[in-house]
Amino acid sequence: AGMVLSVLVILLLSMLYEAVKMGKAVLLQRALLALPRSLSQEALTEPEEGDTNPAQSRWFQYHVGQTLFHVVQVVLGYMVMLAVMSYNAWIFLGVIVGSTLGYFV
């Protein structure tokens, strides 16, 4: 029962890893769409004090979100790697199946 539970947890961690990778890619796409079309015209004009650019604020929020997703992705990646380094064939198969299902979903 313990081995089945371990494989199931690793499978779910692998699926979560793939979901975080996809979420990070979606945030990158939204951040790129939030950038203004022409940065050169904005560089020529001096911003007034107290004037905040909503596009820049939105881009910064997406960037913070990407950073948090990256931290979660790295932590999950190392946890899955450590599980694989246990050299247990069932755990390894759980990682493979979890990554496959996570990418498919």
* Token pair recorded at residue 13: 């961690």
Per-residue pLDDT at 45: 59
pLDDT in tens, 23-45: 999 988 888 887 766 655 555 55
Per-residue pLDDT at 38: 63
Instruction: Give the N- to C-terminal CA distance of the chain in Å, as an integer.
Output: 27
Q: What is the pTM of this model?
A: 0.75
Q: Are 11 and 97 in contact (CB under 8 A)?
A: yes
Per-residue pLDDT at 53: 66
Given a cut of 70, the residues of the chain with pLDDT beneath it are 36-53, 55
Q: Domain ranges for the chain, please list them.
A: 11-39+63-104
Give the angle subtended at the CA of 52 by the CAs of 51 and 56, to the nearest 5°.
150
Per-residue pLDDT at 60: 84
